[in-house]
Copies of this chain bind each other. A is one copy, B any other.
Amino acid sequence: MTVGSLITDVRLTPILIADAPLLNVGGVHQPYTPRLIVEVETDSGIVGLGETYGDSVYLSRAAELARALIGMPSGAFNAIRSLGDRASSELLADIPIAGGLRGALTTDKVRLSVLSAFEVAAMDAYGRELGLPVHALLGGKVRDRVDYSGYLFYKWAEHPVADAPADAWGAALDPDSVVRQARKFFALGGFRSFKLKGGVFAPDAECAAIEALAAAFPDHPLRLDPNGGWSAATALRVAERLRGTVEYLEDPTTGLDDLAELHRRTGIPLATNMVVTSVAEIAPAFARDAVQVVLSDHHFWGGLLATRDLAAVCRAHGKGVSMHSNTHLGISLAAMTQVAATIPDLDYACDTHYPWQAEDVITAPFEFDGGAIEVTDTPGLGIELDRDAVARLHERWRRLPALRERDDVAAMRAADPGYRPIRGPKF
């Protein structure tokens, strides 16, 4: 063994997980969201776990790339990272909603999202084999706890369809109910900062919600993220109103020049998960100082080494770095926590949807304490797969072919048959 036992099997299990009716700029979450569970087995009998997007485009690419993974050593992360990198960057969808508000979707982003789960699974396996936590494979942790923000959403009380999962969070459609949701978050996990997903209601209403949060939680850093749903003029108006109230605005608008001017005029830091989502997008955005904080997502940047690389690029440009999250389970939360623990200048609490997920595929789901997750030293990711849960959620995936693609627009049409997502600024 030089860099880990050889990978002998890659098991890909698509699942559907219950999701709440969370609203965003382009629609609403469906009752169920697809995820892909990856198990990498080595010739020493060790199994490592990974997780990524589960829409069909990811499933087919994963099936293809899994063949190339067989026979590779589990510790060959650099080699795993370049699997299939001769692929084109064909545009698959140019509506940001597709694939879950992550910028335009390209074949290469799909590849990287698949490889992220392969790399994480390989790291989990390699760490288990060596008796080392994943952070030790990334140069070691520099902190013992990773802070997460409480991720607030406007939401309906329930899905507008039959047989949908229920949740205990209630509706949140105005400032008061957003504050109520924040209080529940705080009681649940002691979150010390809050992010509100915006772009749903008129900007003034969302500003009012942020101001209500600021009044209720005066010591909590706050963020508002309309997913690029505002025009440059609206973004400027919001920035002027919320300057001093939010620690940053996330993707207030989408034009690089507009973002740069917004920052220049207001001084408000701008974070992004939509305009810098791939290596090629870094240089133009940084050259204009269009963003000040990049929210990495190890899924679509291509894994944990890629996340560290992004942090290095941000450091070289004096940019802040933190982490984005889309609907995900405990495998990915473990991976996010392990890599975040190794990045010294991760100065903002990471985002995570995790508290919204009532289901998980690990035997001991995470709990937040003081808004943070403890960085485990248990070998690998420090988690175990709940195979019964995987089987059950996979069975649901088999049973519900109509929900195998995440489609926030379709979900919205269940309530509003004439609903059409808006191209360009919504407000």
Contact = CB atoms under 8 A, between A and B. Distances in A.
Interface stretch (A33-41, A137-145, A357-365, A393-401): A137-145
A347 to B, nearest CB: 14
A133 interface: yes
Q: Which of A135, A136, A286, A313 has its CB near the most chain B CB atoms (within 10 A)?
A: A136
A342 interface: yes
A73 B316 CA distance: 27
A317 interface: yes
Interface size class of A (residues with CB under 8 A): 35 or more
Interface string A67-89: 00000010111110110000000
A411 to B, nearest CB: 36
Given A130-B130, A342-B78, A344-B78, A139 B313 contact: no
B75 A140 contact: yes
A421 interface: no
Contacts of A138: 78
A139 B77 contact: yes
A3 B344 contact: no
B312 A78 contact: no
A132 interface: yes
A218 interface: no
Interface in A313-330: 313, 315-318
A310 to B, nearest CB: 8
A391 interface: no
A63 B26 CA distance: 59
Contacts of A91: none
B78 A132 contact: no
A316 B282 contact: yes
Contacts of A282: 316-317
A427 to B, nearest CB: 32
Interface of A: 1-4, 73, 75-79, 81-82, 130-133, 135-142, 279, 282-283, 286-287, 305, 308-310, 312-313, 315-318, 342-344, 377
14 contacts: A3-B135, A4-B136, A75-B136, A76-B139, A77-B140, A78-B141, A78-B344, A82-B344, A130-B132, A137-B137, A283-B316, A283-B318, A310-B312, A313-B313
